[in-house]
Amino acid sequence: MKTRNIIGFAIAALAGSFQLAPAQQPGAVKLTAVVQAPGQKLGTVELVGADGDNYQYKQKGTDTILAQPVAACKVFYIMTPADLASALTDYRSNELADARKGLAACRTKYVAFGNLPGNPATTAALAELNCAVRQMDWGALDALTGTFPGATKLTSADKLRYQAAKVMAGVKDDAASLATLKTEVEDLIKSKAKAMDTETYAWLRYALGRVYASKVPAAELQGEITPEHRADASKAVDNFCQCVVGVHGNIWPMQEDALIRSLHILAAMPGVPQHVAKAGKVLSSKAWSDLPADYRDAVAMAHLMKNVYDMGGKDPLIDKLAESFYNTAKDRAASADEGQAEEKPAEEQPAEAAK
């Protein structure tokens, strides 16, 4: 076995597939990779760094550091280190604050491997970007995208997510920033939407929702939206809802924010505030169907937020409107009983009650 390894090593050397690399620094970070290099069997190697497109590894049984091009390997897979696995578990469990701490540490710790495919520094950086956007930490995005390991080696989908994250850094409350953001987002959607994953697309829809919502004066959102601003308000709700649909019902802080903003916009639509003020009473089917469509949409959204997304208590308007939802078995039964009582002649009702 030892002889075959030496022969494989010699063949690779003659083929020019590896070269001696600078000596490993004491205490340097190491990783394990599953590799099948030219002239060698599938096995594991101890990675110590990267040099351009070459991976640097320690020759087994020696302190010699060798460098080999990744492109020459039939198999090259970096095994996930324990600290990254732990951070990704927090990330997938929606423990975003804890995840960001662990991911940031991994992004820095493994940065020497940042040019290698599937390296933990880039994996951590991508997940960290996702956390920041989900938490709406727009201020962090410039720094995260500015020092991104492996940015030039990303897959097509990850490049789009990286690009979208850079655009999302422009989500601010001032009108000038949002006007610039609108152009950038619409250009990205127009040119790249078909190639995006759904979460990246959801980010951009949230950004457009903020753009259109900013066109509605704050005083109108707190009172009643005028017909002049109704179109922009409707576009804001449409984009916010596309943001929620795009993540398949996962409700992170950004999606919660999109739903709450949508609810307040619908509740302020022309002709709706007067009905919001009287919300809570169980209505007959006719009374429900006669209500403005925007009000019914607001009630249905509040019901969804409270009973499906468990957002009760997140905003007073959710709890106020959710109780007015008509399309439940209880409400249908109540309105049916109400309708039957209205149809009975007055003289028959006491006899019915006596049974």
Strands, sheet with 43-51, edge to edge from the N-terminal-most edge strand = 19-20, 65-69, 54-58, 43-51, 31-36, 75-78
CA dihedral sign, ordered 317, 320, 325, 330: positive
Query: Residue 70 has which token pair?
Result: 């990744």
Answer left, alpha or beta for residue 61, where phi above 0 means left and psi between -120 and 50 means alpha.
left
CA dihedral sign, ordered 144, 150, 156, 157: negative
The structural domains of the chain, with segments of one domain joined by +, span 2-78, 80-169
Specify whether the CB–CB gap between 109 and 87 falls below 8 A. no
If pLDDT is split at 50, 70 and 90, which confidence band does 138 have?
Answer: very high
C-alpha to C-alpha distance for 124 and 108, rounded to whole angstroms: 9
> Residue for token digits 């492996």?
150
How far does Cα 326 stand from its chain's mean position? Answer: 32
C-alpha to C-alpha distance for 268 and 296, rounded to whole angstroms: 12
If pLDDT is split at 50, 70 and 90, which confidence band does 25 have?
Answer: very low
Q: What is the per-residue pLDDT for 333?
A: 64
Q: Flag whether pLDDT at 23 surpasses 70.
A: no
C-alpha to C-alpha distance for 43 and 77, rounded to whole angstroms: 11
> Residue for token digits 């916009």?
265
Structure confidence by residue, pLDDT tens digits, 165-179: 999 999 988 877 888
Q: Flag whether pLDDT at 345 surpasses 60.
A: no
CA dihedral sign, ordered 58, 62, 64, 70: negative
Burial class (CB in 10 A: 0-12, 13-18, 19+), 264: middle
Q: Which amino acid would we find at residue 107?
A: R
A 10 A CB-CB count for 12 gives 18
Q: What is the per-residue pLDDT for 262?
A: 98
Q: What is the per-residue pLDDT for 328?
A: 56
If pLDDT is split at 50, 70 and 90, which confidence band does 323 have?
Answer: confident
Burial class (CB in 10 A: 0-12, 13-18, 19+), 39: middle
How far does Cα 291 stand from its chain's mean position? Answer: 35
Q: Flag whether pLDDT at 352 surpasses 80.
A: no
Q: What is the per-residue pLDDT for 249?
A: 82
C-alpha to C-alpha distance for 340 and 330, rounded to whole angstroms: 15
Q: Which amino acid would we find at residue 84?
A: L
Structure confidence by residue, pLDDT tens digits, 265-289: 999 999 999 999 988 776 777 888 8
A 10 A CB-CB count for 214 gives 20
